Amino acid sequence: MDTRLNCNQKKCISVSMMCSRLVGLQETIQIFEQEKIEYLHIDVMDGSFVPNFGLGCDYINRLRELTNIPLDIHLMIDRPEQKLSWMNIKNTDIVSVHYESTPQIQKTIDLLKTYGCKIFLAINPATPIFVLEEILDYIDGVNVLMVNPGFAGQKIIPSTLLKVKKLVYFLNSNGKDDIVVEVDGNITLEYAKQLKDYGASMFVAGTSSLFMSGIDEYAGNIKKLRNAINSKGAIT
């Protein structure tokens, strides 16, 4: 069993590839492999569900030629159920679909099941956690957007911090503590520590942590984030 997939037993880092420069990409990926990064976070954006265009199907295919690190594909697109077949989804991937992106979320989850991948439901900052109630049996994780999705470098929306704590309580009280809680957006070392204490176990590393500086500091930045998410004891 690839331990990378076991993000509810161990804390995982998912590197936001929209923040990764193309210059020196191969060397960058070698650093990720050396630091045992568990996932590469791929923000797929259609310019409609979010006001930005992001990484596309061809990028996904080219990236797979460079590394075997599994992909954490974050679909920020309208009506994902109509487009899953475009994505060359592997059974080692995580695929997050947004609750807000289709009136057919159950049908989309059923369709995703046919790919054998891990299925995460992504929820925007203003979407309440009770929308999960009827689909807890069908998902492997929840991607909690801590910012309004679409752009790197944004500031966390404060209400999302307590939302993560409430979500973990909600999952545990429904006997679903095996559902992974991923946090995505402005995950600094401090927020990572706080969210780890609240029960998050998968952390999107972007400009707020890993890519704060140049490639010569990526390994050190990953180690700092690893320490933050594995640190003992609650934050003061």
Among residues 47, 116, 128, 153, the one that binds ligand DX5 under rule CB under 6 A: 153
Q: Which two tokens stand for residue 192?
A: 């990572």
Per CB under 5 A, 43 contacts Zn ion: yes
Q: Give strand pairing partners of 14.
A: 39, 204
Per CB under 6 A, 152 contacts ligand DX5: yes
Q: Where are the beta strands (DSSP E) in the chain?
A: 12-16, 39-45, 71-76, 94-98, 118-123, 141-145, 180-184, 202-205
In angstroms, rounded to a whole number, what is the distance separating the alpha carbons of residues 63 and 29? 10
Among residues 5, 15, 19, 229, the one that binds ligand DX5 under rule CB under 6 A: 19
What are the residues whose beta carbons fall under 8 Å from the beta carbon of 219, sequence distance 6 or more?
A: 31, 34, 35
Per CB under 5 A, 184 contacts Zn ion: yes
Q: Choosing among Zn ion, ligand DX5, none, which partner's interface includes residue 70 (Cβ < 5 to 8 Å by kind)?
A: none
Per CB under 6 A, 157 contacts ligand DX5: no
Number of residues that bind Zn ion (CB under 5 A): 3
Q: Which residues are catalytic?
A: 43, 184
Q: Choosing among Zn ion, ligand DX5, none, which partner's interface includes residue 207 (Cβ < 5 to 8 Å by kind)?
A: ligand DX5
What are the residues whose beta carbons fall under 8 Å from the beta carbon of 49, sequence distance 6 or more?
A: 76, 77, 78, 98, 100, 101
Q: Choosing among ligand DX5, Zn ion, none, which partner's interface includes residue 206 (Cβ < 5 to 8 Å by kind)?
A: ligand DX5
Per CB under 6 A, 141 contacts ligand DX5: no
Q: Choosing among ligand DX5, Zn ion, none, which partner's interface includes residue 80 (Cβ < 5 to 8 Å by kind)?
A: none
Q: Which two tokens stand for residue 106?
A: 């159950």
In the bound state with ligand DX5, the residue whose beta carbon lies nearer, of 112 and 147, is 147
Per CB under 5 A, 72 contacts Zn ion: no
Report which of 3, 14, 74, 35 is spatially closest to residue 201, judged by C-alpha positions: 14
69 neighbors 37 (Cβ within 8 angstroms)? yes
Per CB under 6 A, 43 contacts ligand DX5: yes
C-alpha pair distances (Å), 230 with each of 13, 83, 168, 198: 11, 37, 17, 13
Interface positions with Zn ion (CB under 5 A) = 43, 74, 184
Interface positions with ligand DX5 (CB under 6 A) = 16, 18-19, 41, 43, 74, 147, 149-150, 152-154, 184-187, 204, 206-208
